[in-house]
Amino acid sequence: MPNSQQDTLSQAAAALKEIRPAYNQIVDYFQQVFIIQERALAELEYESATIVIPRDKIVRRDGFPLLDITQWPIDIAATQKVMAGICDLTAAAGLKTAGSARITAGMLNPAALRDQSRNTAKPGQRAELPEITADLVAAYLRQDDQFFTERGSQWTVDPEFLEFAVYQGMVPSIRHCSRRLARHLEKENGAVRDTCPVCGSAPALAMYADNGRRSALCGFCRHHWQLKRVHCPFCHNEDNNSLQYLYSEEEPEYRVDVCDRCRKYLKCVDLRQTGRVFFAPLEHAATVHLDLKAREAGYTG
């Protein structure tokens, strides 16, 4: 991780722990997850030829994502290495998923990695090594929840942890490709979309900037783009009477935008109110209380 970005992450983590001491463990945990990912991303950036983006699958029509998630190229070896690191981190942190992490680490069999091998997963094609990781990646990309339920039962691990570990392991590959794909959007800089223009995913977190504009962090590829200010990105509702927000005077920097039409919610951070260093993925992970508040009110993410 570049020193500047590591400093930003470190400062953001310290600030979050100061204002929300109860979240110290989760902030420390995700800080380490992001460091593992950034180191792996730096290696992928250096060896950029290891991931080949399927140019014939890129779409440049208005309203369509550049590349569908099912077509996303993933470096399997890098993913397995990051997954192993996250499993070790989870076990050492003593989280409730520590047992699942230990079993998953054993199943991944890092010793099977070949230093000279860099395999890229392609739709409908199984990577030669390591086979288990390639299967997990393929299942995630096709959003096959049943696969994780069955594999979790087979391995006696928490399927939610398994799915979490797979995604977090893929993040360096995902971000590497997202950065490269985003270059195709340079002429559309500032365009407003409901879903991510790179991969078509829904927003995971929204931010209000100094100029009042609302932007989004993609829940899959972590690309940032502009959202309409008064608008539900999930059902396209623009009716003020059915668009509300949950808010607490004790936390003026946070709000949860909710839609009474589709019953979905979106966590938001008002950057004008924070006055501290901000790292969007960490902020998303450290605002579980906003998810609970929204779900208790009858909304879903």
- State the pLDDT at residue 113: 43
Average pLDDT of the residues in 87-111: 89
Average pLDDT of the residues in 120-146: 74
Q: Are residues 141 and 264 in the same domain?
A: no
What are the counts of helices (DSSP H) followed by strands (DSSP E) for the chain?
A: 10, 8
**Number of structural domains found in the chain:** 2
Q: Are residues 170 and 217 in the same domain?
A: no
Q: How confident is the model at residue 136 (pLDDT cuts 50, 70, 90)?
A: very high
Length of the chain in terms of residues written: 301
> Has residue 122 got a pLDDT over 60?
no
Under 8 Å between Cβ of 251 and 219: no
pLDDT in tens, 59-76: 877 778 999 999 999 999
Average pLDDT of the residues in 121-126: 42
Per the prediction, the chain carries an average pLDDT of 89
Residue 15 lies in a domain: no
Phi/psi at 271 (5° precision): -65, -20
Residue 153 lies in a domain: yes
Residue 136 lies in a domain: yes
Q: What is the CATH number of the domain that holds 211?
A: 3.90.1670.10
- State the pLDDT at residue 210: 82
Write down which residue in 186, 217, 240 finishes a domain.
186
Q: Are residues 67 and 155 in the same domain?
A: yes
pLDDT in tens, 194-242: 999 999 999 999 999 888 889 999 999 999 999 998 899 999 999 999 9
Q: Around Cβ 116, how many Cβ atoms within 10 Å?
A: 6
Residue 14 lies in a domain: no
Q: Are residues 28 and 150 in the same domain?
A: yes
Q: Are residues 125 and 51 in the same domain?
A: yes
- State the pLDDT at residue 130: 61
- State the pLDDT at residue 108: 85
Q: Are residues 44 and 156 in the same domain?
A: yes
Write down which residue in 161, 186, 211 finishes a domain.
186
Write down which residue in 186, 210, 229 finishes a domain.
186
Q: Are residues 147 and 208 in the same domain?
A: no
Residue 76 lies in a domain: yes
DSSP assignment, residue 63?
T
Residue 150 lies in a domain: yes
| CA atoms 154, 157, 162, 165: torsion sign | negative
Under 8 Å between Cβ of 284 and 267: yes
- State the pLDDT at residue 111: 53
Percent of the chain surpassing pLDDT 70:
91
Q: Are residues 265 and 120 in the same domain?
A: no
- State the pLDDT at residue 82: 97
> What is 277-294 written as a DSSP string?
---HHHHHHT-HHHHHHH
Range of the domain at 239: 190-296
Q: State the burial class of residue 100 (Cβ atoms within 10 Å of its Cβ: 0-12, 13-18, 19+).
A: buried
Average pLDDT of the residues in 158-168: 98
Q: Are residues 36 and 180 in the same domain?
A: yes
> What is 120-141 written as a DSSP string?
EEBTTB--SSSHHHHHHHHHHH
Q: How confident is the model at residue 189 (pLDDT cuts 50, 70, 90)?
A: low
Q: Are residues 34 and 174 in the same domain?
A: yes
- State the pLDDT at residue 255: 94
- Mention every residue, 6+ apart, whose C-beta is less than 8 A from residue 179: none
- State the pLDDT at residue 126: 36
The Cα 199–Cα 38 span in angstroms is: 20
| Comparison of pLDDT for 214 and 128, the residue scoring more | 214
pLDDT in tens, 254-287: 999 999 999 999 999 999 998 889 999 999 999 9
Q: Are residues 109 and 258 in the same domain?
A: no
CA angle in degrees (0–180, nearest 5) for 262-265-268: 150
